[in-house]
Amino acid sequence: MIQDGLSRTDIDLAVSQGVIDRDIADRLLAFAASQRSTSADEESFRLLTGFNDIFVTIGLALFLGATYWLASNVSTWVATLAVAISAWALAEIFTLKRRMALPSIVLLAVFVAMIFALIAELAGSSASFKANDPVPFVVAGIAAAAGASVHWRRFHVPITVAAGFAALAASAAALANLAIPGILEHQPILVFLPLGLVAFGIAMRFDMSDRQRLTRRTDIAFWLHLLAAPLIVHSVVWNITDPSDLSTVDSFLIVGLFAVLSLVAIIVDRRALLVSSLSYLIYAAWTLLHMTRWETNGWAMAILCVGALVLLLSVAWRPMRAGVVRLLPPAIANMVPVAA
């Protein structure tokens, strides 16, 4: 919120109505934010502009759900098309006109998901493809990414870039499975780790272009980091361990992975990188505690330990990051968000 009563929503609305252009808006937001004491270390992003966002989102869920239900009486593809069209039309109101954060995110996600589902169903029902053929998913992913691109040009919702990348990632995974049958089952790291690293790299490009985290680019980066994290973490964990039957060595490997991710997260100032590994960390902690006198209450103790670690990181994040960034070479320190 900009001081003196003018919000970022007001600025975005002014841009949409042609009062000012986007470059001036970004410069104005940067100037206003620079006058505040909020640090880039807070990793803030827009999700709610008020409780009305939640109220509207509930209404959207009810409306779109009912739309799908009624249209499915005709056919499934008609239902998905109807929901996609409805999501776009509603975005004209709640995204373009009212600039509501949470409804905009939901409408974008629904639109892209419906495009993917629609094309996958239409392509899958074609006589050109066999049952369980991955090609329809390749086509659907490309179509969903194209839909996300069109949506971005119209509405500029920050999560759109991540949604488009996710759609392309689905296409890439389907292509990989087509080229090397069984790769997603036996060697998922060969597919998902590169995709995660690419998403992380794109996110860092946005972060490096806005080190003070004052513009929309930081919101785009946040969602890309949130997407990159599970792609990286899950593929690595499933490659180096057997999550269904962790050994002591596996548990220590997961703890080590969390330590490495923590260091990277602190350097780039993105807590999202840690969220995806918490479930594995709890499981690893339980495995280690299971061999001790805490066997009976192992799960509770594991969750307690991980919760305490998260709280410690939260409290000590700024001083730890300031210390770590000071140790970095200047070339790297000048690329990551400014430390408090």
Q: What is the DSSP letter of 338?
A: P
pLDDT at site 93:
96
Give the per-residue pLDDT at 37. Answer: 45
What is the per-residue pLDDT across 177-190, written as a single tens digit (0 to 9) for each?
A: 889 988 988 898 99
In tens, the pLDDT along 79-95 reads 999 999 999 999 999 99
Whether 113 is covered by a domain: the verdict is no
Q: What is the CA radius of gyration of the chain?
A: 22
pLDDT of 127: 44
- How far is 72 from 51, CA to CA, in rounded Å? 32
Q: Is residue 21 part of a domain?
A: yes
User: For residue 203, is it within any domain?
Assistant: no
Domain membership of residue 23 (yes or no) is yes
Choose among 266, 271, 264: nearest CA to 318: 266
Give the pair of three-digit tokens for residue 112.
Answer: 């892209």
The verdict on residue 2 lying in a domain is yes
How many residues comprise the chain? 340
In a domain, 102, yes or no: no
Given a cut of 70, the residues of the chain with pLDDT beneath it are 1-9, 32-45, 125-132, 243-244, 246, 290-298, 340
Residue 286 inside a domain? The answer is no
- Cα-based distances in Å from 210 to 61, 216, 242: 34, 9, 39
Residues 6+ apart with CB under 8 A from 69: 79
Is 101 a member of any domain? no
Per the structure, the complete domain to which residue 18 belongs is given by 1-37
Residues 6 or more apart whose Cβ sits within 8 Å of residue 322: 339, 340
Q: Residue ranges of the alpha helices (H) in 125-159?
A: 135-155
* Sign of the C-alpha dihedral computed for residues 47, 51, 53 and 54 taken in this order: positive
Q: How far, in Å, are 145, 273, 296 from residue 109 at the CA level?
A: 12, 21, 42
Query: What letter does residue 214 receive in the DSSP assignment?
Result: -
Kindly state the percentage of the chain with pLDDT values over 90: 47
User: What is the predicted pLDDT for the residue at 3?
Assistant: 42
How much is the pTM?
Answer: 0.83
Domain count for the chain, please give it. Answer: 1
